[in-house]
Amino acid sequence: MYRQAGGHGGPSRPTSKKEIPNDMTKLVIFDMAGTIIDHGCFAPISAFMQAFASMGVEISVAEARGPMGLHKRDHIQTLLEVPDIASRWETAQGRAWSDDDVQHIYDTFMPLQIKVAREHVDIIPGVLELFETLRNRDIKIAATTGYPRVVADPVWEDLTAAGLAVDFRACSDEVPNGRPAPWLIFKCMQELNVQSVADVVKVGDTMPDVLAGLNAGVRSVAITLTGNDVGLTHDELQALSEDERTEKHDSAKAIFLTGGATDVIRSAGELLQVLGG
């Protein structure tokens, strides 16, 4: 049994910087939206809202963001399990939701997500420079995502053309369960022949990212200001005062540390401070 988002842990235990020396890092695994691209993690939001609206159920931006990091089908089911949303569903549909409804919303969501995802391929500042430094240190780079392959591949075509490339990428529909299960991380390790979890760092902007890292037994680094919880574009974030940005960082940091994150940084560009360089 692995740790579930919002729940209690299984056998895995949190790691600490003392247990994983910085010079041992051989692989860094990044989440995509809110971590290395799509500042503020906007791509999935409108697609979720449109898919629910097609069934007569309005959900807010904050509600749509709530389960971010999960497999997108799991995300939809988690939203339907929220009492207020379930009530709106019953009002609109005249009955309780079912597993068939989850699948129907997911099927509606997918073509919307394919289109919207390619509209949010902005590379977060500092990421290109970070990747170059990691490669110069012979550290492998992988990416995991809650997107299925049909959504992720067109996004990566655009990112590769823009100069962002990874050694391997894994999608949620290629493993038995998406985050917070550890299987995406293990898939990256297997494909890149990294044999010890002590050599791996996982970086993401949601609690399922953190929990996936803990469930895998790797060092789990959380990102605040570019991610889903803060939910601001680069320009919106820069428009805030430094005190306002610090307040948002500290608020998200407290949540991530409570959830077991090994380290918490403002953006991926600060990762070298964690790795020691």
Q: How far apart are CA 93 and CA 229, in angstroms?
A: 31
pLDDT of residue 75: 95
pLDDT of residue 23: 62
Domain boundaries defined on the chain: 22-41+123-275, 43-117
| Domain at 22-41+123-275: CATH code | 3.40.50.1000
pLDDT digits (tens, 9 = 90+) for 210-249: 999 999 999 999 999 999 999 999 999 999 999 999 999 9
Q: How far apart are CA 15 and CA 176, in angstroms?
A: 24
Residue bearing tokens 């290629």:
174
Strand partners, 29: 142, 202
pLDDT digits (tens, 9 = 90+) for 182-203: 999 999 999 999 999 999 999 9
As a whole-number percent, the residues of the chain with pLDDT over 90 amount to 87
Residue bearing tokens 């949190």:
14
**153: helix, coil or strand?**
helix
pLDDT of residue 24: 84
The pLDDT-based confidence of 13 (bands split at 50, 70, 90) is: very low
* Averaged pLDDT, 124-133: 98
* Averaged pLDDT, 202-211: 96
The pLDDT-based confidence of 93 (bands split at 50, 70, 90) is: very high
Specify burial of residue 34 (Cβ count, 10 A radius: 0-12, 13-18, 19+). buried
Tell me the H-state helices in 33-163: 43-53, 61-65, 72-80, 83-93, 99-117, 127-136, 149-161
Contact 117, 149 (CB under 8 A): no
Asked if residue 21 has pLDDT above 60, the reply is no
pLDDT of residue 4: 64
Average pLDDT, the chain: 91
The pLDDT-based confidence of 2 (bands split at 50, 70, 90) is: low
Active site residues: 31, 72
pLDDT digits (tens, 9 = 90+) for 31-69: 999 999 999 999 989 999 999 999 999 999 999 999 998
Q: Which CATH superfamily is domain 43-117 in?
A: Putative phosphatase; domain 2 (1.10.150.240)
